[in-house]
Structure 1
Amino acid sequence: MTSPELDWDDPTDLQNATRGLVGRLDPCIIRDASGRVVWDNERWSFLKEICPDTANPSLWRQGRLNALDGLFEVVPGIYQIRGFDVSNMTLVEGETGVIVVDPLISEECAAAGLALYRRHRGERPVTGVIYTHSHADHFGGVGEVVDKADVAAHRVPVIAPEGFMEHAVSENVFAGPAMLARARYMYGRWLPAGPDGVIGFGLGQATSSGRAGLIAPTELVTSTGQQWEIDGIPMVFQLTPGTEAPSEMNFLLPEQRVLLVAENANHTLHNVLTLRGAEVRDARAWAGYLTETIQLFADRADVLVGSHHWPTWGRAELIRFLSEQRDAYAYLHDQTVRLMNRGLTGAEIAEELQEFPPSLAKAWHARGYYGSLSHNSKAVYQRYMGWFDGNPAHLWGHPPVEAARRYVDFMGGADMVVEKARKSFEDGDLRWVAEVLNHVLFAEPEHAEAREFQAGTFERLGHSAENGTWRNFYLTGAWELRQPLEERRNTAGGTNSEMIPALSTEQLFQSWAVRLDGPAAADRRLLLRWEFTAPAETWTLLLANGVLTPMRGEPIGGEQPHSALRLDRAAFNRVLSGQTNFPEAIETGEIVIDGDEQALWTLLGLMEKPARSFPVALP
């Protein structure tokens, strides 16, 4: 529920979100080369109306602010593109061109943003790119911002924090398919925008759906205090690993007195663990780095900008903002650990920590629009204690379907459970209704009455949620329950083809390893030698014990490979991106294979295609 402490008459956020508007793309609709819409910011126009009963007023307000779009001047020489994607693209004018910070998710959106900037500020060339952290919404559009040849020739630097490539790959490639499927629920991708559907998710309104790629950094920031000058613009960096991303950094522009804090401080409580899945973040370290940010930069900055939302102007204002953001993460960490050490489990702690102290609860930017105090406290518990709550009854429970069948049988059968659930619904205990109907649906997925009843329960829960991602999960769950199962299941997916050229050969082979069907491969032993040209490198793939192990160089111990492949990296990229396939590449001579060709087909046949869509509210 919305806190009564909130000051609904405070105009500060609206004033800051509209300050410095230079121009808009009107209408703010972006298409790809085929004409497909990859971004439509006009669909949020309904947020200008009075909040209806189907939405939480606080989340409605946040969506209205996030939907503001255009090119905005932060200070002379520093601009932001906002409302062209979930994230912001920041533009810093140098002596000869412009430095692009965080070029959005999609190349089409980044290109449209850069074109709008140039329309108002002139045809300045891009003289540098900065990725603040390793999430795709901060690098995916780079291919339309800078020419890869200029980067390769070291004419344009691409700067990122240490560990960037490792973590960009592990999150967006290795676990990407599962995260993508859950992200569709988290961001409400299947829901219509409107008072009954998506109204945003706190951090932004939506994610664009254009072409996403990656250009590997040419320079890495490896220590706090490191200084760089790009196109005549001095910068001072602060590494913040393990905060909002495993690889992340803030930086100060001392001459302009502007501090860019990436995604470490936002106009919402962020996630310690996102509902789509990710590595659990360290709330204690997050708070500690924000303290360091204040100590390092607060007396040298007058404006704070982030990779999401609107800036904060004024030294006292930015110190208060950073301090309150710091205290929010510190409070949820420290109080979770305190209650954990009292013996409470994650679920019990989430019930105990219903609200921040009044001073934080009334801060709009600390509201749980994206991360919530509830699921963040569970994440802190998980970071320390893992999935097991210590109760032996939970050590070896049945999986959901088998448990559901037993629950429903004990409760008198599906019809009886639905009947009893209606009484709980009338009493307003929607959380309990959702739990018991979930057992019915996992036991009997086609129980029509239970499906519609659960869908209505999810809608009620979603419409009241202040957290945008909770709303989207509930409403997408309701949508799922009303769809034929075959229309949603198992759309095959894999690595985004635009990212493949930026990945190392080792990373590509590692992405194969997590696709190997281990049980099916358990009795196989294969050795394949891969000789790459342009660049020249040799790799050996060993399949043994249900594990695919990539090794740089020749086979160990002189064991002869079953087959040897000669190819250049560009041909491998084309195969992996689907532009061609192994049989065609071998037939055209792009790939030459010696030895037992069947060994390659056997290996490929043991690879499992990841699903990009799977049911969540049903088994």
Structure 2
Amino acid sequence: MKKKKRICMLVLTAVLAVSGASCGSQADLSDTSKEASATTKEANGQVYAALDFKDQQEKEFAEKGLIAAPENLELKDETGKVIWSQKAYNFVENKEAPDTVNPSLWRNTQNNHLYGLFKVTDGIYQVRGYDMTNITFIEGKTGWIVFDPLMSTECSKAAMQLVDKELGRKSVKGIVMSHPHVDHYGGIKGIVSAEEVKRDKIPIIVPQGFEEHAVSENVYAGNAMGRRAGYQYGTILDKGPKGSMAMGIGLGQSTGTVSYISPSDEIKKTGETRTVDGVVMEFQMTPGTEAPAEMNTWFADKKALWMAENCTGTLHNLYTLRGAQVRDGNAWAEYIMEALSRYGKEAEVVFQSHNWPHWGNKVIGQYMENTAAMYKFINDQTLTYINQGYNSDEIAHMIKLPENLEKNWYTRQYYGTVAHNARAVYQRYMGWYDANPVNLNKLPVSESAKKYVEYMGDTGEILKKAQKDFDKGEYQWVAEITNVLVFADPENKEARYLCADALEQLAYQAESGTWRNAYLSGAKELRQGTTSDNNLKATGSADLKKSMTPEMMLDYMGILLDSNAAQDLNLTINLDFTDESKYLLTVKSGVVLYQKNTSSKNADATLTMPKAGMAAILGKDEAAQKKAIKITGDQDVIKKLTEHMVEFEYFFNIVEP
């Protein structure tokens, strides 16, 4: 039976190779980028009729309060690598949208291209457009309280230099990090060092659970999330009318040096206050909204409300394309309304960690209500459809925002989309399974792709039909069917190029910047192959891993250890930490288990070490291991433990097997 199956697969492979080669050039199937098709031009033209382009409120708010900005902004790291560039987006200035960009997204890109130092209100300033996130400076009696110090140290350092130049040099008296996403803390060492924090007793204030979630999101699944983030943020794309645009909460992701300093002060409940350098701040806890741990901040004397990333001037994600825990749309809406109840009557300005502030009490009330209603609608309407028996795919194509919500420029789908957020609600309540037993244990995509092609017949004929559908503007279907051919035979260039062309046209029509980036990233890799350029990703820092608790390190060890490959591995190890509690590590059939404050007299070995020794084990740093770890018992125990630990490849394939 196995031999017969192998012969069938060889015949199929030969058929695919011959039929793929004989397809011929039915159209301009090549590795080059194409112009917008007639269908795409028509679709983008309809956007002008759907939206009020005379409404300039968001642009006016994006420009308001500008103090200073360099004529061209381009930041480099110490090696000369460009890690952030506003200069690259100069092509959007004072120009109408080309056919290759959704006009609404073009406008959002123009607004995000308005960068520099801005005054929000008396004593509150923001540097915007120096990274994906805003960095905010609250003026105290003698220095600054800094909110959300960006993603890269090079970016936050440049922002601080602009503030020093325009407002006078002052020391940092406190730091507030609203939530544990890397673009809100990674640049912290660009404004202050760990030594300064300790010496000057600078408080680092965060919501409860911040460090736990910073680690779980950015370390446990960090490799896969980082690779997928490259698609979401378009880091492999050129900037331009056929390339990456803004994506709702900024122009993209900086690729500089990420740092981390552990927080010193956790806010645990709504209504807690802190006074730093004479500034009184009241915090509102908003867990489970844009992040598992997040908080807003109220400045009563300034009538100013910081909404963190709970309001952003665009539809955000209940599930982000890079991957993350699904967020609670119902809770998100409720916390915005709670903020409106607590502070809305007095607030004269609402500002946030992305995009620009909104001024005026009436405007603020509408802004917050409409934003809350958007998330509440998606949550409730999805559940309505779920209870009528519709599955995730069906709901994603059925749901649409009510017209009075959809028409607001600050509720447009530049970052998140209604379709994907509906899928997130479905996943939150129902999981991935749609109750159809056919989908209980589906074949791996490469296997099913080969069977699809075998059933459909000649690859060349499939491509001819796909080309006809492409000419009719059926780009989603063409992308789907040609990607099946790619997974069946990744060497089929005609299939790769036609799939890329279809994805490209979908990108040109997309209002969501993240969808545009994902489509174009897929198209680029289909045409050119998966990239391996390390300059396209941020420079990692060991700071976060050093801040991991022993439990976090042991959990991460379980992720690194390939349990299937190590199923014959059984070890018992006493971990005698000199700066932490003791642990008993048990590896049972390749599975990592541990117990705190426990040891075994019959352990295979005892490792006496500081916590840094465990970091050396996880990093397979033999020199550091010898220096930090004393082994009693089996001297090869670390080798046995680490030989089945995998090293993750960052640039794994996405649009091909």
Q: How much does 1:432 deviate? A: 1.1
User: Hey, what does 1:539 align to over in structure 2?
Assistant: 583
How do 1:168-207 and structure 2 match up within 5 A? Answer: 168-207=214-253
- Conservation of the 8 A alpha-carbon contact between 1:94 and 1:232: yes
User: Hey, what does 1:565 align to over in structure 2?
Assistant: 607
- Conservation of the 8 A alpha-carbon contact between 2:609 and 2:628: yes
For residues 208-243 of structure 1, give each alpha carbon's deviation from its aligned partner in whole angstroms, at most 9, with x where no partner exists: 111112111111111111111111111111100000
Q: Distance in 1 between matches of 2:545 and 2:456?
A: 52
Structure-2 change in CA distance of 1:536 and 1:411 (3 Å): closer
For residues 433-490 of structure 1, give each alpha carbon's deviation from its aligned partner in whole angstroms, at most 9, with x where no partner exists: 111111111111111111111111111111111111111111111101112458589x
Among candidates 616, 619, 622, match of residue 583 of structure 1: 622
**Aligned-partner SS, 1:246:** coil
- Conservation of the 8 A alpha-carbon contact between 1:23 and 1:71: yes
User: Hey, what does 1:394 align to over in structure 2?
Assistant: 439
Q: How much does 1:545 deviate? A: 2.7
Among candidates 306, 315, 321, match of residue 361 of structure 2: 315
How do 1:122-201 and structure 2 match up within 5 A? Answer: 122-152=168-198, 155-201=201-247
- Conservation of the 8 A alpha-carbon contact between 2:584 and 2:594: yes
User: Hey, what does 2:630 align to over in structure 1?
Assistant: 592
Q: How much does 1:530 deviate? A: 2.8
Q: How much does 1:406 deviate? A: 1.1
**Aligned-partner SS, 2:308:** coil
TM, length-normalised to structure 1? 0.95
Q: Distance in 1 between matches of 2:409 and 2:243?
A: 23
Q: How much does 1:568 deviate? A: 2.9
- Conservation of the 8 A alpha-carbon contact between 2:575 and 2:608: yes
User: Hey, what does 2:52 align to over in structure 1?
Assistant: 7
- Conservation of the 8 A alpha-carbon contact between 2:553 and 2:615: no
Among candidates 575, 588, 606, match of residue 644 of structure 2: 606
Counterpart check, 1:448 vs 2:493: yes
- Conservation of the 8 A alpha-carbon contact between 2:315 and 2:413: yes
The size of the alignment, in residue pairs, is 610
Q: How much does 1:3 deviate? A: 6.9
User: Hey, what does 2:295 align to over in structure 1?
Assistant: 249
How do 1:126-525 and structure 2 match up within 5 A? Answer: 126-152=172-198, 155-353=201-399, 355-484=400-529, 496-525=541-570
Structure-2 change in CA distance of 1:575 and 1:607 (3 Å): closer
For residues 19-58 of structure 1, give each alpha carbon's deviation from its aligned partner in whole angstroms, at most 9, with x where no partner exists: 1111124431222223322211110101112211111010
**Aligned-partner SS, 2:350:** strand
- Conservation of the 8 A alpha-carbon contact between 1:492 and 1:609: no
Q: How much does 1:150 deviate? A: 3.9
- Conservation of the 8 A alpha-carbon contact between 1:3 and 1:361: no
- Conservation of the 8 A alpha-carbon contact between 2:74 and 2:87: yes
- Conservation of the 8 A alpha-carbon contact between 2:230 and 2:537: no
Counterpart check, 1:549 vs 2:588: no
Counterpart check, 1:527 vs 2:566: no
**Aligned-partner SS, 2:146:** strand
Whichever residue aligns with residue 243 of structure 1, its letter is T
Whichever residue aligns with residue 539 of structure 1, its letter is Y
RMSD over aligned Cα, in angstroms?
2.0
Whichever residue aligns with residue 632 of structure 2, its letter is D
Q: Distance in 2 between matches of 1:141 and 1:196?
A: 30
Q: Distance in 2 between matches of 1:79 and 1:367?
A: 26
Q: Distance in 2 between matches of 1:285 and 1:554?
A: 40
Q: What are the ranges of 5 or more consecutive residues in structure 1 without an aligned counterpart?
A: none
Q: Distance in 2 between matches of 1:58 and 1:451?
A: 29
Q: Distance in 2 between matches of 1:79 and 1:468?
A: 27
Whichever residue aligns with residue 600 of structure 1, its letter is I
Among candidates 113, 131, 145, match of residue 99 of structure 1: 145
Whichever residue aligns with residue 133 of structure 2, its letter is S
**Aligned-partner SS, 1:550:** strand
Q: How much does 1:520 deviate? A: 1.6
Q: How much does 1:495 deviate? A: 7.0
- Conservation of the 8 A alpha-carbon contact between 2:530 and 2:652: no
Q: How much does 1:347 deviate? A: 1.0
Q: How much does 1:509 deviate? A: 2.2
Structure-2 change in CA distance of 1:3 and 1:518 (3 Å): farther
**Aligned-partner SS, 1:310:** coil
**Aligned-partner SS, 2:288:** coil
Q: Distance in 2 between matches of 1:484 and 1:40?
A: 25
Q: Distance in 2 between matches of 1:196 and 1:296?
A: 45
Identity %: 39
Whichever residue aligns with residue 491 of structure 2, its letter is E
User: Hey, what does 1:24 align to over in structure 2?
Assistant: 69
Whichever residue aligns with residue 629 of structure 2, its letter is I
**Aligned-partner SS, 1:514:** helix
Structure-2 change in CA distance of 1:268 and 1:586 (3 Å): closer
Q: How much does 1:134 deviate? A: 1.1
For residues 551-601 of structure 1, give each alpha carbon's deviation from its aligned partner in whole angstroms, at most 9, with x where no partner exists: 33332xx3433222233345655676x6xx6432355x4332232121100
Whichever residue aligns with residue 591 of structure 2, its letter is V
- Conservation of the 8 A alpha-carbon contact between 1:347 and 1:378: yes
Q: Distance in 1 between matches of 2:452 and 2:81?
A: 47
User: Hey, what does 2:19 align to over in structure 1?
Assistant: none
Q: What are the ranges of 5 or more consecutive residues in structure 2 without an aligned counterpart?
A: 1-42
- Conservation of the 8 A alpha-carbon contact between 1:528 and 1:600: no
Whichever residue aligns with residue 49 of structure 2, its letter is P
Counterpart check, 1:88 vs 2:134: yes
Q: Distance in 2 between matches of 1:500 and 1:407?
A: 44
**Aligned-partner SS, 1:234:** strand
TM, length-normalised to structure 2? 0.89
- Conservation of the 8 A alpha-carbon contact between 1:108 and 1:210: yes
Whichever residue aligns with residue 184 of structure 1, its letter is G
**Aligned-partner SS, 1:128:** strand
Q: Distance in 2 between matches of 1:501 and 1:393?
A: 45
Q: Distance in 2 between matches of 1:15 and 1:487?
A: 41
Structure 1 stretch displaced more, 523-532 or 132-141: 523-532
Among candidates 79, 96, 101, match of residue 50 of structure 1: 96
